[in-house]
Amino acid sequence: MAVATYGSEGAGALSSTRGTALQRPFQIVIIAADLLLILLSYGAGAALYNVALASTGDGASMGAGLIVGVVFVAVAYSQDVYATHRLLNLVWQLRKAVFIWLASLTILAMAAFLLKSTDNLSRGTVIIFAAIGGAGLISLRFLWQFVLATNYARSRLVDRKVILLSLKPLDFTSSRFKDLRRNGFDVMRHFVLGIDSGDGHWERQIRDVIRQSRQADVDEYLLAIDWNELPMLRKIGPFLRAVPQPVRLLPDDSIADLVSRPFLPVSGTVAVEIQRPPLSVFERFQKRCLDVGVALLALVILAPLLLTVAVLIKLGSPGAAIFRQSRRGFNGKPFEIWKFRTMTVCEDGQTITQATKRDARVTKIGRFLRMTSIDELPQLWNVLRGDMSLVGPRPHALAHDNYYDELISKYVYRHHMKPGLTGWAQVNGFRGETPTIDLMEKRVEYDVWYVSNWSIWLDLKIMARTASTVLFQEAY
C-alpha cells in the first residue's frame, strides 16, 4: 500500500482544530450580515420613499423586512449557501442570492395578500427595498470572495481536511487534482489501494487505511475512480460505510459527464438523460419572454437607423432593400429569414456561394453593413414572428444545410432549438465565412454544446458578449 502524506499529521490536526473552531463563528457572522443588510435595506427603502413623497412616514414597523430577511436566511441555509467551501464559487453564489432574493420577495407578497395586509405595505417602499437589498446581497458576495482570497482565510475558514483514496498513483498536476486546495480540500493523506487480487490482502489493506484515517480525524473522504475502475467502487463501498464522515467521488471526465446529467427514477433504478429534449414549457416561456421583450424594444429604438439603411440600400444599387432567403428553423421547419440586401445578387437555390473577403458581389454600403452586422437587424422581425430567437445556432442557407448534413454527424442537432440572431459559436470566434470543413465542425461543436447546456443565464451572457464580438471580430 502506497501512502502519500501532505504535511505533518500534527500540523494538520492543529490546522483542522483551528479551522473547525473558526468556521462556525464565521458562518454565523455571514448569516448575521445578510439579515442585518436586509433589515437596513428595508429601513433605507422606507426612508427614501418618504423623502421622495416629502412625508414624515407613518412609523411603520420593520416587520416586512424581518419576514424577508428570515425567509432569505432560512432558504439560503437550507441550500448550503453558507457552507464555507461554497463561498469560493462566486458565480454560484450570485445565482443563488438573486434567485432566493426574488423568492423571498414573492413570499412577502403572498403573505401580505393572504393576511389581507397589502394596504399596510407601501409598494414604493417594497420596490426600493427590493433594489437596494438585491444590490447589497450581490455586493456582499463580492466582499466574501475578497476576504476568502487571503491565505489566512483559506487555511482557517475554508479548508476541509480530507483523505484521498485511489486505485493507482495520481498525477496531481492534472486539472482534476491540482485545484483541490484552491477549492477547499486539504488532502492530509493519499492512499493508493491497488486492485483486489483475491488473496485477502486488499481487504486487510483497506481496513488498515480506515484505521489510520480515523486517527487523522478527517472531515471527509475523496475517492478518485476512473471509468474502467467502476467495478471496484462496489467493493470499496461496504468498507467505507464503517466511517461516519461523508464520502465523495472524484470522477474522471467520462463519469463526471454522466453523473452531471439529469436522471429519472425508474422502479428502484434510474434512467440517465444522454440527450436532452427540446426546452421544457417553462424554459420556452422564459426564452420567448426574453426574445419578445428585447426584440420589440430594439425595433422601437432602432427604427430611425433601419429606415435610413433601407433608403441608402435603395439609392446605392437596384433591387429590394430587404433580402429574403429560405432557412431551416426548429425541427428543420423552413422559414424566410430577413436581412438587409448587401450584395448585387439574391441567391436562394440549390447552389449558394458564401461571401468571401473582398467579394465583388458585395455593394459598398453592403460591406459596411456586413462589417458592423447591421445587415442582420431585420431578423428582429423574425424573432417577433417566432421563427427565430435572439440567441441560438445561426441558420444556414438550405444548400449549405444539405451539404454539411451529410458530412458532419452532429449537424442536424442544431435544429433542436430555434436558430438565433447571435450564438455561442459566434461569440467564440466562429462568425462569418467557414471555408473549410474543420471550421464548420468547430462551429457545430459550439452550437451542439449550447443546445445541450441552455439556460437563460447563458443567453444573457451571449447577448452581452455579442457587442464586443461585433466590434473586434472581422466579418465580410
Q: Which CATH class is domain 159-272?
A: alpha beta
Cα separation, 172 vs 175, whole angstroms: 8
pLDDT, tens digit, 9 for 90 and up, residues 5-29: 443 333 333 334 344 444 567 778 8
- Cβ distance 137 to 101 under 8 Å? yes
Of 377, 364, 365, nearest to 304 by C-alpha is 377
Measured from the Cβ of residue 198, the count of other Cβ atoms closer than 10 Å reads: 8
Q: Is the pLDDT at 313 greater than 70, yes or no?
A: yes
Cell of 34: 445578510
What is the pLDDT averaged over residues 393-410? 84
- pLDDT for the residue 476: 47
pLDDT, tens digit, 9 for 90 and up, residues 275-302: 777 788 888 999 999 999 999 999 999 9
Report the run of H or E that residue 263 belongs to, with start and end: strand 263-266
pLDDT, tens digit, 9 for 90 and up, residues 142-163: 888 777 766 555 555 556 778 8
pLDDT band at 403 (very low <50, low <70, confident <90, very high): confident
pTM comes to 0.52
- Spell out the domain ranges in the chain: 9-152, 159-272, 281-472
- pLDDT for the residue 151: 53
Q: Is the pLDDT at 378 greater than 90, yes or no?
A: yes
The residues that bridge with 190 in the sheet, in sequence order, are 4, 164
**Which of residues 107 and 358 earns the better pLDDT score?**
107
